Amino acid sequence: MKAISSRDNPLVKRLHALATSGRERRKLGETLLDGPHLLQAALECSYPLKGLVVSASGVDKAEIAALLHEVGSDVPCHVLPDSLFAHVSPVDTPSGLLAIIDLPAAKSLGTIVENVVVLDGVQDPGNLGTILRTAAAAGVRHVLLADGCAGAWSPRVLRAGMGAHFVLDVHERVDAATWLRGFGGPVLATALSADARSLYELDLRAPVAWVFGGEGRGVSSEVMACATRHVLIPMPGAIESLNVGAAVAVCLFEQARQRSLR
């Protein structure tokens, strides 16, 4: 392991750029994994690592030491003083361990005959990461992000996703309306419209495209026009709406419940 102590070091500047700027992440084609859990998830899926960075205090933590040993000497590793590590950390509470990875290459978006989640304008990194984690847990493999969503591979979304990125097919900057018009199955969008049917009245055993909108404006009118059914989540309490992450969880696991009974 090589020690670095200066903010002027090129690697430190690169790390800080990756931690703070989506433009720099796209320019460099890289991003950061924060924490032992994400690194372990990447290793389990054999995702290639470009470098490791550990804080001076993190070196002595058993969990981090075990991961460094597992990675071995083939991946460059640098040690930073705790204060400098905090400077390059993408989160407010530094974990003591960062990994540099390449952003995945964009994949062509062909025909999908399985369940798919389409997100329109989900801007909050925590919500987006939570939705990706929920989709993976519910057995949904495909997630499409329209323009206006947070960057799927930003460090904060990665941290909230807790490793879901490595088992999902995530497509960004998708023309959602055009793609949905070519989808062969039902397109379900959560809405409070008069024609919306209760989630629990629907037969969800066949593959569908789930459409969820952003935290403020919801689903755009262009994307909503592609929905073949508006879905209402019954809420007997005194609250009119759910956080988008909670709404996704309710819908996907109701579908998972129905499919488990088949």
Distance CA 201, CA 188 (A): 13
Tens of pLDDT, residue by residue over 4-52, are 999 999 999 999 999 999 999 999 999 999 999 999 999 999 999 999 9
Domains annotated on the chain, with CATH: 2-102 (3.30.1330.30), 116-260 (3.40.1280.10)
In degrees and rounded to multiples of 5, residue 128 shows phi and psi of -65, -45
Count of alpha carbons within 13 angstroms of residue 137, beta-carbon side: 16
Q: Is the model's pLDDT at 147 over the cut of 90? A: no
pLDDT in tens, 221-262: 999 999 999 999 998 887 777 899 999 999 999 999 999 986
**How far apart, in whole angstroms, are the C-alpha atoms of residue 245 and residue 132?**
9
